[in-house]
Chain A
Amino acid sequence: MIQLTGIHRDFQVGDQTVHALDDVTLTIDSGEYISIMGPSGSGKSTLLNLLGLLDKPSSGSYRLNGQDVTALSDIQQAQVRNREIGFVFQMFHLVPRLTAAENVELPLILAGEAPEQRKSRVTRALADLGLSDRSHHKPDQLSGGQRQRVAIARATVTEPNVLLADEPTGNLDHKSGQDVIRILEELNQRGITLIMVTHDPEMGQRARRQLHMMDGRLDIDQLNQTDSAGDGTA
């Protein structure tokens, strides 16, 4: 469970203060499917980075599973990122010199897992995403959709509770984007909390709960009426 209370995130740009997040209060339950929409510069990425402990709020409190995570040490925060949270980026962010399997293995290496266990988990994660035959390919030998699937495998190989996706389809063609969304929704149906930033209303509409941001504020927080993908269609 995620609880944000009175979150502010200010950036100092020259002599101006940008309120990227302005008094955001938000509670997210385990297993929810949430989309975050809003115009460019409205604070969506900032919110997601904050949820992923990549950024710290200027003020306000952030509790993850009841624990105040802003008070944790650097090493403890790194552990939370490693075990509890998975990230999927618009730019994929694969390490170009590493193969698909090695990229997926990275979080397990950072966690200090034994090599034998790592191999089987990586194999399973790649198989789940239909990438078994691509495991020894370098990122530049993969299509955009395949790259994003490798990134998803990497984000989920540690079996986190929360998956954060910042415009995961932003760099993909329509069909690959559809594939990626379907995969993310499948993961959500298996229990992961999915929080996805998107500027594509069609995709945002599929989430059970839709947030809308404007100038750093959460101005709309609504449940999906049509409920097209959240539960039913599996």
Chain B
Amino acid sequence: MALHSPDIAWFSWGALRGYPTRTILMLLAMSIGVSAVVILTSLGEGARIYVMDRFASLGTNLVIVFPGRSETAGINPSTMMGETPRDLTLDDAQALTRSYNVRRIAPINVGSADVSHKNRSREVVVIGTNHDMLEIRHWELAQGKFLPELDLDRASPVAVIGSNIRDELFGAQRALGKWVRIGDRRFRVIGIMGSEGRSIGVDVEETVMIPIASAQQIFNTSSVFRILVEAKTRDAIEPVKQFIIDTLQERHQGVKDVTVITQDAVLETFDRILGALTYAVGGIAAISLAVAGILIMNVMLVAVSQRTAEIGLLKALGASSRQIVILILAEAFMLSLLGAMVGFLLGQLGSWSIRYAFPDLPAYAPAWAIVIALTVAIVTGLLFSLMPARRAAGLDPVLALSGR
């Protein structure tokens, strides 16, 4: 007395089609849950990859140095004596080139200044740096040349300006070779940065870059804001980090007063945070699936009571309790499977729309989320139908048939 699988499928399918409202309601509940998981995780995953890409575009094998101990380092001699941390200098930067593992360095200074050409003027973020900055940040020029190779402490009246600045100061006129005034000094425009170089931290279309020694003169300082150091290889990152700490400690009379972070560490942190975020939204969406499960239970209970006479009849015709359970569960399984599939398609459509609306966001649901959504859908569908199925199996056939 074993039911054949095709017969089970045939009977359950017929039952589902016989009650279209109920079927569509359950499909809806199921598919909303599944598509929520797919869409939300694709959003989270897309955001993660977006941010990671942006950070990766910061450069390759980067080590970043800035003055002062990071707060996490706690108390050190300089803070105990109430000193402000010692500034980084161009000599410090120069000293960092003296390692076999360092490919190149770029010191950075940032300030804001009025930039003008003839009677047009605006306030702009001015970056002082060197020739190697272009390579370290993987930027590309739209026109002209980047800053020339100079000793770090040599000023030079040349500037690379962002394309937006060019548009504002020069309009349709040619900018290359023209002079602009930055603060109280004159610089000749030698290059234009286009949108190609857009990356995290700096909007190069909106900035002006000049040699760092010139920037120090304009801002009247001898300090350096950051030093970017590019290690030759990935494996060289740690040795380079140690080399920087040792070199600067030696140069600063034995005080460890700089913070050195590696790009990898930053990437890892962001990866962890954003990954956790994706799991969280995925989990929340999965809860909506459990809610769908409860709905399924209630609707299956209604289904069982709607079909009391039919179940009683099946018993009279020789169906065992087990067979009744199998038939009801098969129905739930089919519904869940269908709902999961519809939900999957809706979800894919949803993440496609997100990608369409935000082309920068690679909103693809991760495989694990899809697997989990489909499994949770089918398992909840079955689990929550166990009780209605048992109830059906336990129906008294005499009462069921008499409609009492």
Q: How far is the CB of B328 from chain A (nearest CB, A)?
A: 14
Q: Is A93 part of the binding interface, using a Cβ–Cβ cutoff of 8 Å?
A: yes
Q: How far is the CB of B128 from chain A (nearest CB, A)?
A: 81
Contacts of B313 in A (CB 8 A): 93, 95
Instruction: Tell me the bound Cα distance from A107 to B319 in angstroms.
Output: 8
Contact B14–A97 (Cβ < 8 Å):
yes
Stretch at the interface among A72-80, A129-137, A195-203: A72-80
- Interface positions of B from 318 to 361, Cβ below 8 Å from A: 318-323
Picked from B15, B317, B401, the residue with its CB within 8 Å of the CB of A110 is B317
Contact B317–A82 (Cβ < 8 Å):
yes
Q: Is A52 part of the binding interface, using a Cβ–Cβ cutoff of 8 Å?
A: yes
- Given the known interface contacts A78-B1, A95-B310, the answer about A54 and B317 at a Cβ–Cβ threshold of 8 Å is no
Picked from A52, A95, A110, the residue with its CB within 8 Å of the CB of B1 is A110
The 9 closest A-B pairs by CB, nearest first: A82-B318, A78-B320, A97-B18, A81-B318, A107-B317, A75-B320, A54-B397, A112-B2, A93-B313
Picked from A49, A74, A154, the residue with its CB within 8 Å of the CB of B321 is A74
Closest to B11 in A: A109
Q: How far is the CB of A171 from chain B (nearest CB, A)?
A: 14
Q: Is A98 part of the binding interface, using a Cβ–Cβ cutoff of 8 Å?
A: yes
Contacts of A158 in B (CB 8 A): 318
Instruction: Tell me the bound Cα distance from A57 to B313 in angstroms.
Output: 20
Instruction: Tell me the bound Cα distance from A106 to B402 in angstroms.
Output: 20
Q: Chain A: residues with CB nearer than 8 A to chain B?
A: 45, 49, 52, 54-55, 74-75, 78-79, 81-83, 87, 89, 91, 93, 95-98, 106-107, 109-112, 114-115, 154, 158
Instruction: Tell me the bound Cα distance from A158 to B171 in angstroms.
Output: 94
Picked from A55, A81, A106, A109, the residue with its CB within 8 Å of the CB of B4 is A109
Q: How far is the CB of B308 from chain A (nearest CB, A)?
A: 11
Q: Is B241 part of the binding interface, using a Cβ–Cβ cutoff of 8 Å?
A: no
Contacts of A111 in B (CB 8 A): 1, 318
Contacts of A54 in B (CB 8 A): 315-316, 397-398, 401
- Given the known interface contacts A78-B323, A95-B310, A109-B4, the answer about A83 and B14 at a Cβ–Cβ threshold of 8 Å is no
Contacts of B321 in A (CB 8 A): 74-75, 78
Contacts of A52 in B (CB 8 A): 316
* Residue in A78, A95, A111 whose Cβ sees the most chain B Cβ within 10 Å: A78
Give 14 pairs: A residue, B residue, CB < 8 Å, sorted on A.
A54-B315, A78-B1, A78-B321, A79-B320, A81-B316, A81-B317, A82-B1, A91-B401, A95-B313, A96-B18, A97-B15, A107-B318, A112-B2, A114-B4
Instruction: Tell me the bound Cα distance from A220 to B317 in angstroms.
Output: 31
Contacts of B125 in A (CB 8 A): none
Instruction: Tell me the bound Cα distance from A191 to B3 in angstroms.
Output: 30
Contacts of B3 in A (CB 8 A): 109-110, 112
Q: Is B138 part of the binding interface, using a Cβ–Cβ cutoff of 8 Å?
A: no
Contact B14–A98 (Cβ < 8 Å):
yes
Instruction: Tell me the bound Cα distance from A197 to B321 in angstroms.
Output: 28
- Interface positions of B from 177 to 219, Cβ below 8 Å from A: none
Contact B4–A112 (Cβ < 8 Å):
yes
Contacts of A154 in B (CB 8 A): 317
Q: Is B291 part of the binding interface, using a Cβ–Cβ cutoff of 8 Å?
A: no
Q: How far is the CB of A195 from chain B (nearest CB, A)?
A: 15
Q: Is B267 part of the binding interface, using a Cβ–Cβ cutoff of 8 Å?
A: no
Q: How far is the CB of B134 from chain A (nearest CB, A)?
A: 74
Contacts of B314 in A (CB 8 A): 106, 110
Contact B309–A78 (Cβ < 8 Å):
no
Contact B316–A87 (Cβ < 8 Å):
yes
Task: Tell me how many residues of B have a C-beta within 8 Å of chain A.
Answer: 29
Q: Is B83 part of the binding interface, using a Cβ–Cβ cutoff of 8 Å?
A: no
Q: Is B149 part of the binding interface, using a Cβ–Cβ cutoff of 8 Å?
A: no
Instruction: Tell me the bound Cα distance from A78 to B321 in angstroms.
Output: 8
Q: How far is the CB of A167 from chain B (nearest CB, A)?
A: 12
Closest to A158 in B: B318
Q: How far is the CB of A21 from chain B (nearest CB, A)?
A: 13
Contact B319–A110 (Cβ < 8 Å):
yes
Q: Is B235 part of the binding interface, using a Cβ–Cβ cutoff of 8 Å?
A: no
Contact B317–A79 (Cβ < 8 Å):
no
Q: Is B7 part of the binding interface, using a Cβ–Cβ cutoff of 8 Å?
A: yes
Contact A78–B401 (Cβ < 8 Å):
no
Contacts of A95 in B (CB 8 A): 310, 313
- Given the known interface contacts A95-B310, A98-B14, A110-B318, the answer about A55 and B398 at a Cβ–Cβ threshold of 8 Å is yes
Interface mask (B23-56 → A, CB under 8 Å = 1, otherwise 0): 0000000000000000000000000000000000
Q: Is B86 part of the binding interface, using a Cβ–Cβ cutoff of 8 Å?
A: no
Instruction: Tell me the bound Cα distance from A158 to B1 in angstroms.
Output: 13
Q: How far is the CB of B14 from chain A (nearest CB, A)?
A: 6
Instruction: Tell me the bound Cα distance from A12 to B171 in angstroms.
Output: 98
Contact B14–A79 (Cβ < 8 Å):
no
Closest to B8 in A: A109
Q: How far is the CB of B180 from chain A (nearest CB, A)?
A: 83
Q: How far is the CB of B117 from chain A (nearest CB, A)?
A: 83
* Residue in B11, B18, B320, B397 whose Cβ sees the most chain A Cβ within 10 Å: B320
Q: Is B98 part of the binding interface, using a Cβ–Cβ cutoff of 8 Å?
A: no
Contact B398–A49 (Cβ < 8 Å):
yes
Picked from B17, B317, B396, B401, the residue with its CB within 8 Å of the CB of A106 is B317
Closest to B402 in A: A45
Contacts of A112 in B (CB 8 A): 1-4
Interface mask (B374-396 → A, CB under 8 Å = 1, otherwise 0): 00000000000000000000001
- Given the known interface contacts A75-B320, A79-B318, A81-B317, the answer about A109 and B7 at a Cβ–Cβ threshold of 8 Å is yes
Instruction: Tell me the bound Cα distance from A96 to B323 in angstroms.
Output: 20
Contacts of A87 in B (CB 8 A): 316-317
Q: How far is the CB of A209 from chain B (nearest CB, A)?
A: 24
Instruction: Tell me the bound Cα distance from A228 to B318 in angstroms.
Output: 34
Q: How far is the CB of B147 from chain A (nearest CB, A)?
A: 81
Instruction: Tell me the bound Cα distance from A125 to B322 in angstroms.
Output: 28
Q: How far is the CB of A30 from chain B (nearest CB, A)?
A: 20
